[in-house]
Amino acid sequence: MKETAAGFTTTSNTKAFDRSHRKTINFNMSKYNAAVPQGKLQFAELHLARERAKNIKWKAIETLDQQLESFEAAITKRGAKVIWAEDAAQALDAIKKICEEKNCKTLVKSKSMVTEEIHLNHFLEKQGIESVETDLGEYIQQLAGETPYHIVTPAMHKSKEDIALLFSEKLGTDPSLNPEQLTLVARDTLRAKYRQAEVGVTGANFIIADIGAVAVTENEGNGRLSCSMPKTHIVVTGIEKVIPSMHDLALFWPLLATYGTGQRITSYNTIIAGPRQEGETDGPEEMYVILLDNGRTNILANEKQRESLYCIRCGACLNACPVYKNIGGHTYASTYSGPIGAVITPNLQDLGEWKHLSHASSLCGNCTEVCAVKINLHELLLENRHEAAEEGLAPFGEKMAWKIWKIAMLRRKLINIANGSMKARVINTIGKAWTQHRGKLDFPKKSFNQQWKEKSGNK
Ligand code: SF4
């Protein structure tokens, strides 16, 4: 078993039995579960809205090259500079050059999973640049030295007591502070950083092709401050975030808000179409947009997997997944966790290394059921498994097990050689794989054939 897969199995085994983790997750997800049905009420035809969103994303992804070129042409006209990055190294190199040019010592950053994907904070730290997360959840995670636990709610696994303790350890605050007081502490610290920062980095929830702009959605106003207070604004975004027209936001904004947090609309929705224009009083002097591929064109080239590029990162599939709820986000050890992470990580990175994530599913289909843009997630998980098997990536033991299983299944007599108690002994004792977390199996004394013959009177 590969190291990543072995690590996943070990951590899953521990996390699934961690009651305190389960309690916090259940509590935080119960708030989400209560809010989402309320948000959904705003749609007269929810099913049609999701279908329409899927069709728009289908169109955008099928014409991705044209959409991105249209975006580049329009935003360039308004003074922004577009940089195409094939991989993380090219994106980081571009950011480094900009930071050097601006003599950047402090950089403020709003929540962005793409910058997690390229490990931007770690990279900047090595360059001697302080990179400060300004989203409260991300800020908490940065203080704790952890990666985001969830794509929408980075600190979902922490209780308010955990956070009060963390602030007291790292910032010297009173450990009995309540959530409002803790938020004010973070706010004071971060406001100073906005004034200090030479560069602000944001992601993009959507790249708008027709008008040449990016749309950023957030609940705290930190994204807006990150892109407008520093003199230089860098957007780092995956190329799949494109939507053809600004009119499409009328559908995508409420859809993302409802499926992400249960809101009707997120508190701050900003459209940025370039740096400060002549005659304008605020905004950055310069704006760069880094369009990152980093494996996305591999997914685009695969007709079956292409659908996964429709994802708007609402996080609904994570909240609905029984596996995610038990093992938690960090167990995946990948930037994107939950069902969508299990689908795209093996394709963005390496199928051999990450295929085990596609097996971390009960295939109940709940992820597909709740997906804001109706991606057939559970079928894509099966497709990953299929592709891994086709490429011969299964370990030797697994291949042998399936061979033996096939021989036995095709020859009823072989299965009937062992009686019920022998079968029970084998399953209940060998490797304890079954009984480690489950009750013992008890097989019927008579085989299926014997019972069938008896019941049909053909003794
Ligand atoms: S796959 Fe669907 S449900 Fe999951 S994050 Fe993406 S859009 Fe949301």
Determine the pLDDT at residue 459.
Answer: 56
Q: Are 228 and 238 in contact (CB under 8 A)?
A: no
Spans of the chain below 70 pLDDT:
1, 431, 458-459
The DSSP-derived string for 114-125 is: HHHHTTHHHHHH
The DSSP symbol for 214 reads E
- The pTM of this model reads 0.92
pLDDT at residue 262, as a whole number: 97
Do 306 and 84 contact (CB within 8 A), yes or no?
no
Question: Residue-wise over 225-242: b if at least 16 C-beta within 10 A, else e?
Answer: bbbbbbbbbbbbbbbbbb
Ligand 1 mean position to 256 CA, how many Å? 9
Pocket test for ligand 1, best of 311, 336, 361, 370 (most atoms within 8 A of CB): 311
Distance CA 218, CA 110 (A): 9
- Can you spell out the DSSP letters for 390-407? HTT-S-HHHHHHHHHHHH
β-pairing, 199-202 vs 106-109, is parallel
List beta partners, residue 215. 206, 271
pLDDT of residue 283: 94
Q: In the prediction, which pLDDT does 1 show?
A: 64
Give me the pLDDT at residue 79, please: 98
CA distance 200 to 88: 19
Q: Find out whether 131 and 121 touch, Cβ atoms under 8 Å.
A: yes
pLDDT for the residue 431: 64
What's the confidence (pLDDT) of residue 419? 87
What pLDDT is attached to residue 107? 98
Count of C-beta atoms within a 10 Å radius of residue 205: 26
pLDDT for res 429: 83
If one residue of 255, 312, 318 were mutated to test the ligand 1 pocket, choosing by the most ligand atoms within 8 A of its CB, it would be 312
**341 in contact with ligand 1, CB cutoff 6 A:** no
Q: Which three-class secondary structure string do you get for 232-243?
A: EEEEEEEHHHEE
